[in-house]
Amino acid sequence: MTSADRPLRVAVIGGGPGGLYAAVLLKRLDPAREITVYERNAPGDTFGFGVVLSDETVGGIENADPQVFATLGGHMVRWDAIEVVHRGRTLTSSGHGFAALDRRTLLSVLHARCRELGVALRFRTEAPPAAELARDNDLVIAADGVHSATRAAHADSFRPTLTTHRCRYIWLAADFALDAFRFEIAETEHGILQLHAYPYGPDRSTAVVEAREEVWRAAGLDRLDEREAAERCAALFPGTLNGRTLRGNRSQWTAFRTVVNESWSHENIVLLGDAAHTAHFSIGSGTKLAVEDALALAACLREQPGLPAALAAYEAERKPVVRSTQRAAHASLTWFEELAGYTRQPPYRFAFNLLTRSRRVTHANLRLRDREFVTATELEAGIPPDTPPMFTPFQLRGATLRNRVVVSPMDMYKSEHGVPGDFHLVHLGARALGGAGLIMTEMVCVSERGRITPGCAGLWNDEQEAAWQRVTSFVHQQSPTAAIGLQLGHSGRKGSTKLMWEGIDEPLPEGNWPLVAASPLPYLPGVSQTPQELTRSGMTAVREEFAAAARRGARAGFDLLELHCAHGYLLSGFLSPLTNRRTDGYGGSLSARLRYPLEVFDAVREVWPAERPMTVRISATDWAAGGTTGDDAVRIAAAFAEHGADAIDVSTGQVVAHERPDFGRSYQTPYADRIRNLLGLPVIAVGAVSSWDDVNSLVLAGRADLCALARPHLYDPHWTLHAAAEQEYEGPGAPWPEPYRAGSRRPPTGRTDAPKPRLAL
């Protein structure tokens, strides 16, 4: 649409900080551009009070427009401390670094800069529809907020997903300046409310009050007007307000809505800021993201040869950043939704948990910011000096694990007729020598027909038992403080398939064996074999196969047994409503779906030695509509605990082929966290836990007791020992085998520094 003989013509829908800043940058980069901003409100109208900008965002503004930066700099307030007020005690962590200013000031500065550059500002003007503007302009920037009319009008192109969350919140202000970012918790007869507050001027602070929907209603806050709500909220947080008042600014209680768009552009229309994405206010500011969008869009328009390429580059640059921010924001908002489960934690652990809730701030990162705070948290937890949390022991029934690291069960597909061989001896033995506290076998199948593939390991005959005893003997002799665990399972409807690298979940081309499952539903419709519905007599037979395998496992010398009730295999198939369509006493309600897995658990627990622990792996969500939910997972975990499970190994998904997992770093750990802190059960967290820093953070925050890692142990069999070396830890939690002790220091590398100059001329 752009004509080579005239400058770019741009329409901006929405006069918030993102839209205004985009206009400023585009005009500054090319003064000949014709840019018009449409804003339906008056210049002084705005919601909210202060906005928070990171140092990175402020630096971007400085580079792009030093004049705007210089003007804003005189209005910003800065601080580096976070205070957590809980049950009358205030704990302070420093070294964080924030900058904030009045939203009205920010808008005023951007208005002035727009006028100075020649941007046309049309206040009190409803923008024409984006499609109409697109006919007369080369580019339309839709910065029209979370309720974007542009996004709604072109939903087929943008393909938005809008998710409304479980808390209500309200923006208020106080006429005094806090000297830190402050979180305060109010425990009331109706439930938990929390305050997020920070300064944004020399005599002003923003105060956001948040509560679960049911708490908000029970407290009667839904029936109050703005003034009454401000008064009630002020009374709830004496530690911060100390009798001082709060006020509103067209403030209303609302539920946060996460906005995700598959595409950010449609022809010459592009989304920016909240129209494109939102991230919960507890990890930062929507203004920050919008300003960063504007910076990226302006840069891409300058760098790329044409509008289509520029919009594609803008989306490619910003989407990964926003996706990462949204993952962190989701972890943070979920933490606050589940806040009631953490209030019983000791003060420092509670504060550490809060500060690391988004997983962006970690144990190591927080130690760099405030070593004294982290040391106090570790002291409160009883961790010996100079001991990383991951290297503290953990007791499960009669077993003492030397550290919190678990080698996660990983199918190797290297057995012959179910017999583990030299590969398994080396594979599991190497990881035991590598320092992990607990080394888990792959899923060991209880029968020949219960295998996933022809290469799966088993424990249904004497030869297999003897082969496993060879492995456990090696571990106990060569790494005597390591424990080795046996995971028992049955493939159910996911059996009789090719080896993983030959075609995961694809049926064998020949030699298939019949499958059984909770219900006759193929895993891959039209591809997989349809299993037979397990009869009562068949259920009894399989239950006895589990018990027989457990007896063999005990004789083989395993220290721990885990019952595999996850990932869509047989027992998992009974638990999920998506795979259990039975009409007898083993289908329907969750309690009925639990019945058979609990029968199997009881049969195994009865024959498994009383002093040895048993755990259960569950899929805490199916990642699919109508499937197992987080609430279901809590009930499932509680049921197994009542029957004697010593810990719950919390995984997710792999139950149905049409799942939509929300992948990301440590993405499954919130499910383990919730079970642990609601039920008080030991849990094993798993799912993209990839660094020793993650393990330290999860353990010290009380989100997990043990952390299971798979791929890191494939990459490095000595991952745990190397984690100890990198943290300069040499204690009993990570003993080096004597033949390896010479390698307990990182090998030297070539010199990378250079002599410092001694003279300056």
Give the burial class of 435: count Cβ atoms within 10 A of its Cβ; 0-12 exposed, 13-18 middle, 19 or more buried.
buried
Distance CA 525, CA 508 (A): 15
* Cα dihedral 669, 672, 674, 675 in deg (nearest 10): 180
Q: Residue 488 phi/psi, 5° resolution?
A: -105, 140
Nearest to 721 by CA among 697, 742, 704, 703: 742
Supply 416's token pair.
């012959």
Dist. CA 252–CA 236, nearest whole Å: 18
Is the distance from CB of 458 to CB of 451 less than 8 angstroms? yes
By C-alpha distance, which of 335, 171, 163 is closest to 250?
171
Catalytic residue among 569, 586, 667, 729: 569
> CA 675 to CA 640: how far, in whole Å?
12
Q: How many residues does the chain have?
A: 761
Q: What is the DSSP letter of 127?
A: P
Closest to 337 measured CA to CA, from 165, 540, 513, 489: 165
Lookup result for tokens 């198939």: 573
Q: How many helices (H) and strands (E) does the chain have?
A: 26, 28
Assign residue 47 a region: left if phi > 0, alpha if psi is -120 to 50, beta otherwise?
A: beta
**Helix 55-64 vs helix 66-73: angle between axes, to the nearest 10 degrees?**
130
Residue 481, phi-psi category: left (phi > 0), alpha (psi -120 to 50), beta (remainder) = alpha
- Pairing outcome for strands 394-396 and 265-266: unpaired
Q: How many CA atoms lie within 13 A of 305 on its CB side?
A: 0
Q: Is residue 139 within 8 Å of residue 48, measured between CB atoms?
A: no
Closest CA to 560 of 489, 488, 643: 488
Residue 174 — φ and ψ, nearest 5°? -120, 145
Q: Which residues contact 278 (CB under 8 A, 6 or more apart)?
A: 146, 256, 257, 258, 259, 286, 326
The pairing of beta strand 181-188 with beta strand 191-201:
antiparallel
Q: Is 729 a catalytic residue?
A: no
Catalytic residues: 569
